[in-house]
Amino acid sequence: MEMAYDDSAWERSDTIFDSFKKKASSPDVLRAVTEFMAAKYPVSQPNDRARIIGVGAFNFCYRMEFNNGTSSLLRFASPGRSMFPEEKTQAEVSVMLYLKENTDIPIPTILDWGMEGPCDMGPYILMEFVSSASNLTAKLRKPGYTREDRPVLDSDIDESKLEFLYGQMADIILQLSRCSFNKIGCLAARPGGWAITKRPLTMNMNELVQLGGYPKDFLPSSPFASASNYFKSLAETQYTHLSTQRNDAIYSEEDCRRKYTIRKIMLKLAEQSKLTGEEITDHNKYKLFCDDLRPTNVLIDKNCKVVAVIDWEFTYSAPSEFTYSPPWWLLLETPEDWPSGILDWAVTYDSRLKVFLRAMARHEDIAIRDGRLSDGERLSKRMYNSWNSGAFWINYGLRKSWALDIVWPFIDRAIFGGEQPHEQRIALLENRIQFTDDERKEMDAFVQRKLRDLTA
């Protein structure tokens, strides 16, 4: 059974966010935000005061319309939801500026940004507001959707329509894949160009602190020079997560032993560099990767043409294996949250992946014809191999701490092979790692400590 979020940590997070939301909606703040947005755009007069237009997973947004027909968007990192607000804002600004300079991905223009917004609202980004008809998720999801629902791909969607919509995303991913660096981490502007100078700030890191009570000091603090070192760090984080999450991490002694063993196996494999994929000799081998790139963040016009890609937080230079994995969002819902279970997700995903890879190959052909891509930079074959080999599941499990246990049987198949059915893979855990007597004593002490937490 997978780990659940720590309810106590979640409640603390919600309390902080609710207080911020109340402040952000207050007359004093609305007045100050109106004056701030107007002063930052002196070329035109506002039509009205600023108004709240969105409360996202990590940000709180206001919009202001001007009498010259333009609009601006002011976005604050939300306390209680954004656990590294200054770092997140700096990283997102850097990647947006870089992508605007180095790709054809439509990125909103940044008008201003800083660490102290009006009324002590904290880090902000002021950018152009891009008008759109909808987003790609609205065109992909099943009919009858309401705001309370989690979006799921329409099972009856026309395949040619699906290929066209997938193709919009494929082109964005292809452009990101051509942004290569020599380290794993976040971008920063430097004299003479851009460089990876900061640690990779990921969505999983944010959620670990927000929803798992993970100690910030235990997270990595600098960039990584090799994929093997980064994979080892991710495996260590998975173990530390189980160790430090006080509530809702385990359900029984047997459950705790299973989770402990899975994380020790991952650590051992990472230390032996058995979690990394193909060997790449190119010095600039790490690819720009966005944890939150999905159809919801791709705005389109009435003809389904992309007009903007938004929400670039948690974008970093990552191991190429992440880019070479096919995207999880093809069904819109994650495998761990699929209503019919993860095995059904995998079967359904496989059929949709064929459509996506056709769309990807078509966009690769166009990019190669136009001189924007070389044949050796194709992703479609690599994504096919990642799915078929099971590397997809290894990368997914490493990136998403709360999903590791539920995807473990797929990782087991990818690493150890065999024909055992999915349900029997958990029973094979003890055969996958040989604990010494001292290691067994260590596990026993760990389990007893977690059981005390469970009853405290």
Rg from Cα positions in the chain: 23
Q: Is 216 exposed, middle or buried (0-12, 13-18, 19+ CB in 10 A)?
A: exposed
- Predicted pLDDT at 277: 64
pLDDT band at 265 (very low <50, low <70, confident <90, very high): very high
Phi and psi of 45, rounded to 5°?
Answer: -90, 140
Tell whether domain 7-133 is in CATH 3.40.50.10320.
no
Domain borders along the chain are 7-133, 135-455
| Mean pLDDT in residue range 92-114 | 97
The whole-number pLDDT of residue 280 equals 47
Tell me what the mean pLDDT of segment 295-301 comes to: 96
Long-range contacts (CB closer than 8 Å, 24 or more residues apart) made by 31-39 = 32/118, 32/119, 33/62, 33/74, 33/117, 33/118, 33/119, 33/121, 34/64, 35/118, 36/74, 36/117, 36/118, 37/62, 37/64, 37/72, 37/74, 37/126, 38/64
Task: Using the Cα atoms of residue 266, residue 267, residue 271 and residue 272 in order, give the sign of their dihedral.
Answer: negative
Is the pTM value of this prediction over 0.85?
Answer: yes
Question: 349 in the Ramachandran plot: left (φ > 0), alpha (ψ -120 to 50) or beta?
Answer: alpha
The percent of residues in the chain predicted with pLDDT above 90, rounded, is 90
